[in-house]
Structure 1
Amino acid sequence: MERHDGATLLLQGVTGSGKTEVYLQAIAEALRQGRQAIVLTPEIALTPQLVDRFRARFGEIVGVYHHRQTLRQKFDLWRRIQQGEIKIVIGARSALFAPFPALGVIVVDEEHTSSYKQNVSPRYHARDVALVRGRARRAAVILGSATPSLESYYNARAGKHTLLDLPERASGVCAMPSIELIDMARELRKTHASPGVLSARLKEAIDRRLERREQSLLLLNRRGYASISVCLECEAVENCPDCSASMTYHKTQDCLVCHLCGMRRRRAEACPACGSREMELVGLGTQKVEEAIRDLFPQARIIRLDSDSARGRTAWIDAWRAIEKREYDLILGTQMVAKGLHLEGLTLVGIVSADTTLFQPDFRAGERTFSLLSQAAGRAGRGDEPGEVIIQSYSPGHYAIQLACRHDYAGLYEQEMRMRRPLRFPPVERLISILVSAEQPETAMGMAKRLDSLLRNLARQERFAGLSVLGPAPCPIERVRGRWRWRLLARGERPAAMHAMARAALEEFDQLASRRKVEVTVDVDPQDLL
């Protein structure tokens, strides 16, 4: 902080280790030097608690910025920054651009979170932009996480970042929670029937918390009621007509919803393919879990928190205040409740299904599952009473789940690197995604192959030595919003050369007569390859 050299610090601390206190003290030093601070949080959901803690320490010089604010609120914040009334801004990724004249420190909390990447134009990763702005302003950048992204940890081990370690929980906080893994396949064999939403062990643990007036959190990273509507006669699934995806049934709205394009329609009473009326809802979402736990625990005060239930401008803040006052016994939600929240009365975390993100066709699936489980587990036992975590899974032997149960980030890093090094995937090398889409599948495929030819010809040149091209291949989700999608990947260790090669290929590609039939989307360091 005192050197003003734009250093980057990776603060790896287990959940409850006091990372926020480190942020507060670093910011206090920046203020003492007459400088300002930005604190980024991955979810608007985390903002109220952070703001409360920062204002308790620094008073009214703390401002808030996020996309749910009105234009008037944003303008007022900008004006107060320019007048010197606001010296600390807390918010999601766009808060990074707060116009401080003497920026001293940038905090990127939960830096591993993929929501820091903006996936619409202009595409940028807030963590990476924070590093650039920190260097430009000679401001310290603190990347904080219990489960750092492999990219950040790799850079720390390579000496690009300074690694700071908080391996134990802070004094006054109970030790890391115990974790129990429930094999749901064994439960199924044991009962010769579906075990339902919750295993017997998890039901028993919730009952104990209700008796002791302690809070419990249930996590399922899938919203809606049922993931598919399927015909039992011909096995046809009700899919979105514009996307390569099944439609999710939302019981609260009594309709099917495509989570890719937002299309809504009524659920078919008869199968569109064969006419059978034997249509069944299959799969699990937060709405179905809510229905089940209301039946199981009629005396419990239950709240569901996901992007469907927290739609209003102040909905999350109102919900958080009520949870903090212990007006709810059972908190059910998606990943938005798994990160950063500090509730001293919460002693049980139940992972309804650890498998939802595990088998996605993305090389980061294991890393993301580990992070989600570890972060969710860290919500338990932050007060005087010890915490307990129960994880339900049909794949309990998977390395990501096993390592999360042992709080073993180092083991996760080594396992992932063993798989990624031979593939030369991040963090070993960098990627640029070039996605070609068209209304006709043949056009998308043909133009992707034309672009591939241009890229490969360039990759043979000496100035692009060491760069390679992967693909083209249809995206795992092949069609979105009526457009067929093919992807190419440029891979290499030299970002400037990769950018130059992609730019040269696209300039030549733009000269083709058929270019107007397709859309091309370039994404540097992609976080989503679906």
Structure 2
Amino acid sequence: MFVSVVFKNIDKKFTYSCDTQKKNLLGARVIAPFKQSKKMGYIVEKNEKQPDLNISKIKNIVKVLEPVIPLNLFYLSKWISDYYITPVGKVLDAAYPPFTKVKFKIKYYRGKNFKNMSLPLRMQWSKEFYLKKELRKKLKLSEAKIKQLEKNNKIEKKIEYRRDKYKKIKKIKLIKDENILEEISNKAYRQKDIINRLLNLQKEAYFEEFSQYYSSLKSLEKKGIIKIYNEKVKKKEEVIKGKKFYNLNKLTAKQKKIYDSIYERIHKGFSVNYIYGITGSGKTEIYFHLIQKVLKDNKEVIYLVPEVALTTHLIKRLKNSFGDNVNLNHSYLKKDERYFSWISVYKGSKKISIGPRSAIFLPAKNLGLIIVDEEHESSYKQNQIPKYNGRDVAIMRAKKENIPVVLGSATPSLESFYNVKTSKKYNYYELSERYKKAKLPEVEIIDMKNKKERNTNFYPFSKTLINELKKRKEKNEQSIIFLNRKGYNTYLSCKGCGNIVECPHCSKPLTYYKNQDILKCHICEKIYIMSNFECLKCGSNEFTKHGVGTEKLEEKLKEIFTDTSIFRIDGSIVSKHKTMRNIFRKFESKEIDVLVGTQILAKGIDFENITFVGVVNSDVTMNIPDFRANERTFQLISQVAGRAGRGKKSGKVVIQTYSPNNYVIKKAIDHDFKGFYKKEINYRKQLGYPPIINLIKIMFINKNKKNLEKDAKYVRKIINNINKKNIKFIGPADAFMKKKNNYHRKFILIKGKSKKLINKIASTLKEKVDNEMKSKIIIDVDPYQMS
């Protein structure tokens, strides 16, 4: 047999011979000889006929790795490759768990045709199973004989994986007080950063939070400032065994009506079911009842969520309701944990899989339902190749496997709602009231142009916002303060020439962090010591600081509320799932009174004691040059405001803005998504942007600016010769972020009503210019970020 093999980073097929007897080879991981070494690749075609090649030059596959993904996943991967114009090797790599060494035992049992084995061997077979070494030593069987017996089904091979009962968790502890910062040199900014983050995390954190700064950690350990240690803990089975289904809340009449309608479609094949429900309306309750129905039919469920770190409460509820059927899968897990999670789905031992976009690749063989919660979230769109959208892949997988998919959100994406309005394939449902008659929070807009509100003692907070925080503190209730900007100051300008201070490696203003006295680029993560930094344009070292970030909010709140537990959570402090999960556990147990943070606070926090949400500078996301800026602003404000008053206590939201009459702000505070959609969709029609038309972005990047300019001229010539009927080209033009990680960037936008047409043109354009240009080409179908 001959097979075509692709590799992860090579967009080309290679022919090999393969002598395996396995029937399902498509999508299989293999070890194949490549040049002078061996590489892991994936089989994408097989052929019994000899190819039109010199047979002596065709090499043999070294090994086919087990297990092999189901065929349905292989064909889904092929679709992703075609639709997103991305190498199939990259997609298949995403469909498998990370390659890792796991402990296992191979056991040989009596096979179906055991009775046909020779009498002497049958007489010697006295145990239930044998290990391979026992077959060779005790039964005197050669390797070839074992393979032959296995092939003839006289013996059966089973692999049993072993998991350690205990695991080591590496931790870091700060053993000095905060005064130690004064003893650290300003040049050792990484060490200062580590100490500051540990102080924010109550002096203890997981090692993985700082693992990229290994040398700095070792220096701090030598100085006796931190302690690095392993904590041995028993692996917990966080499941409740016994009953299969229990603890499901009774549905309201409206929820029951929606459930019954979707329930009727469970056995009728593919359907897309959209639940638009305001925050706290009980969409999750409907999901749970649908899951129960699917499990009773002995089928499996994939439940996609935008951010696993914020779903601790949801996972706990799932395990309380469905016991040991629940499987968690995400990239924060260790390699062996991800592998065992994947294997449990492959074997069918776990029926419910919950995870972010990557969970859509889990190898469920008897899938009955896919749920995509908070379908509007940008995190469903992958930024790295393959640049797929988890929501759209979920719909396609449901279509290919002929099962229903349920999408849900309080702030639908314009694409999904446009589909609801224009496509007969979408079944639409609405929940306009909160669950258990909980009330929507009262919302108040504060015009920050009003001098009475802009008290200099409280700035950047309004008087109203501070007064509301005081009330919550008196009532022993919790609050959230939201600002979608990290750092202390968001940008600096040079006093010498007025130039905005940008990262030397990226076209991005540097952010100032006061605690460490550093400037940081949030794109390439480079750090510069403030006291040593000079303007790249004029050489001046005097700067004016502008803008407000979460670090400044935290500092100001601690000045005003000296007896209040205030905690900041953003990417500059927390980057790992475990740390974030622990912070939210502390918030749930009321160890934290006020949580200050960025957009991470808008995703899935559901605590009954949160009764106040303050939004500082709600206009900030509307000023981004992106056609989705208004949509993102509406979603962020609506979602973060929806965190307040989700239990029995009433909630209050204060939104600070300089544009109180802007329709985006007004519609968000009125919880009027339909009104926002009506206005926004008209703008999209006028400007010709999705979802009215389809869009592909092609980015060209090169470290050499002259080569990029030369390539841009070449691309322009190619475009001039393309038939532009029913399509429109924009560019090549400079990207909004002209430089990123030392790469200069230009882009082309291809617009058109026909997805097939613009995909074909993008593929053709790539083929024509790929080998003629020095610049790297990155294609983004249905792009989410325009920068």
Q: TM-score interval w.r.t. the shorter chain? A: over 0.9
Q: Cα deviation per residue 1:322-357 (whole Å; 9 max; x = unaligned)?
A: 111111110111111112211111110000110221
C-alpha distance in 1 between matches for 2:454 and 2:372: 46
Map of 1:80 onto structure 2 = 344
C-alpha distance in 2 between matches for 1:50 and 1:525: 30
C-alpha distance in 2 between matches for 1:354 and 1:194: 21
Name the aligned partner's letter for residue 246 of structure 1: P
Q: CA deviation at 1:500?
A: 1.2
1:384-403 to structure 2, matched below 5 A, reads: 384-403=648-667
Q: Does the CA-based 8 Å contact 2:374-2:410 persist in structure 1?
A: yes
Map of 2:150 onto structure 1 = none
More divergent stretch after superposition (410-419 vs 41-50): 41-50
Map of 1:167 onto structure 2 = 432
C-alpha distance in 2 between matches for 1:108 and 1:444: 40
1:25-40 to structure 2, matched below 5 A, reads: 25-40=289-304
Q: Cα deviation per residue 1:84-137 (whole Å; 9 max; x = unaligned)?
A: 331111111111111111111111111101111001111100001001111111
Secondary structure of 1:397's match?
Answer: coil
1:6-405 to structure 2, matched below 5 A, reads: 6-158=270-422, 159-173=424-438, 175-187=439-451, 196-269=459-532, 271-272=534-535, 273-274=537-538, 276=540, 278-405=542-669
Q: Which of 1 and 2 has higher RCO (CA within 8 Å, sep 6+)?
A: 1
Map of 1:470 onto structure 2 = 730
Map of 1:408 onto structure 2 = 672
Secondary structure of 2:620's match?
Answer: coil
Map of 2:776 onto structure 1 = 519
C-alpha distance in 2 between matches for 1:241 and 1:404: 38
Name the aligned partner's letter for residue 521 of structure 1: I
Q: Against the structure 1 CA distance between its residues 268 and 504, is the aligned structure 2 distance closer, same or farther, given a 3 Å change threshold?
A: same
Map of 2:745 onto structure 1 = 485
Name the aligned partner's letter for residue 507 of structure 2: S
Q: Cα deviation per residue 1:281-313 (whole Å; 9 max; x = unaligned)?
A: 321111111111111111111121112222344
Q: Does the CA-based 8 Å contact 1:236-1:271 persist in structure 2?
A: no
Q: CA deviation at 1:318?
A: 0.8
- With normalisation by structure 2, the TM-score equals 0.64
C-alpha distance in 2 between matches for 1:306 and 1:338: 12
Q: Cα deviation per residue 1:403-448 (whole Å; 9 max; x = unaligned)?
A: 1111110111111111111222100111010111222334323422
Q: Cα deviation per residue 1:425-481 (whole Å; 9 max; x = unaligned)?
A: 100111010111222334323422422332342234xxxx31221222211111111
C-alpha distance in 2 between matches for 1:398 and 1:428: 23
Q: Against the structure 1 CA distance between its residues 190 and 40, is the aligned structure 2 distance closer, same or farther, given a 3 Å change threshold?
A: closer
Q: Does the CA-based 8 Å contact 2:444-2:654 persist in structure 1?
A: yes
Where structure 2 has 5 or more consecutive residues not aligned to the other structure, the ranges are 1-264
Q: Against the structure 1 CA distance between its residues 398 and 449, is the aligned structure 2 distance closer, same or farther, given a 3 Å change threshold?
A: farther
Secondary structure of 1:11's match?
Answer: strand
C-alpha distance in 2 between matches for 1:502 and 1:378: 40
Q: Does the CA-based 8 Å contact 1:436-1:486 persist in structure 2?
A: yes
Q: Against the structure 1 CA distance between its residues 194 and 481, is the aligned structure 2 distance closer, same or farther, given a 3 Å change threshold?
A: farther
Q: CA deviation at 1:194?
A: 8.3
Residue correspondences, number: 521
Q: Does the CA-based 8 Å contact 1:172-1:383 persist in structure 2?
A: no
More divergent stretch after superposition (193-202 vs 407-416): 193-202
More divergent stretch after superposition (352-361 vs 443-452): 443-452
1:447-466 to structure 2, matched below 5 A, reads: 447-460=711-724, 465-466=725-726
Name the aligned partner's letter for residue 375 of structure 2: E
Name the aligned partner's letter for residue 779 of structure 2: V
Map of 2:208 onto structure 1 = none
Map of 1:508 onto structure 2 = 768
C-alpha distance in 2 between matches for 1:140 and 1:308: 40
C-alpha distance in 2 between matches for 1:239 and 1:190: 30
Q: CA deviation at 1:23?
A: 0.8
Q: CA deviation at 1:45?
A: 2.6
Where structure 1 has 5 or more consecutive residues not aligned to the other structure, the ranges are none
RMSD, matched Cα: 1.8
- For residue 436 of structure 1, the aligned residue among 679, 700, 714 is 700
C-alpha distance in 2 between matches for 1:194 and 1:363: 37
Larger Rg: 2
Q: Cα deviation per residue 1:251-303 (whole Å; 9 max; x = unaligned)?
A: 34432111111111211456435565543332111111111111111111112
- With normalisation by structure 1, the TM-score equals 0.94
Secondary structure of 1:314's match?
Answer: helix
Name the aligned partner's letter for residue 154 of structure 1: Y
C-alpha distance in 2 between matches for 1:479 and 1:14: 40
2:684 is aligned with 1:417: no
C-alpha distance in 2 between matches for 1:251 and 1:96: 41
C-alpha distance in 1 between matches for 2:561 and 2:589: 20
Q: Does the CA-based 8 Å contact 1:270-1:278 persist in structure 2?
A: no
C-alpha distance in 2 between matches for 1:197 and 1:57: 44
Q: Against the structure 1 CA distance between its residues 137 and 445, is the aligned structure 2 distance closer, same or farther, given a 3 Å change threshold?
A: same
Q: Does the CA-based 8 Å contact 2:454-2:460 persist in structure 1?
A: no
C-alpha distance in 1 between matches for 2:272 and 2:481: 35
Secondary structure of 2:722's match?
Answer: helix
Name the aligned partner's letter for residue 198 of structure 1: F
> Percent identity of the aligned residues?
37
Q: Does the CA-based 8 Å contact 1:270-1:279 persist in structure 2?
A: no
Name the aligned partner's letter for residue 769 of structure 2: F
C-alpha distance in 2 between matches for 1:86 and 1:288: 46
Q: Does the CA-based 8 Å contact 1:188-1:195 persist in structure 2?
A: no
Q: Does the CA-based 8 Å contact 1:188-1:194 persist in structure 2?
A: no
Map of 2:786 onto structure 1 = 529
Q: Does the CA-based 8 Å contact 2:266-2:403 persist in structure 1?
A: no
C-alpha distance in 1 between matches for 2:435 and 2:377: 23
Name the aligned partner's letter for residue 238 of structure 1: V
C-alpha distance in 2 between matches for 1:256 and 1:145: 37
Map of 1:496 onto structure 2 = 756
Name the aligned partner's letter for residue 257 of structure 1: K
C-alpha distance in 2 between matches for 1:500 and 1:129: 19
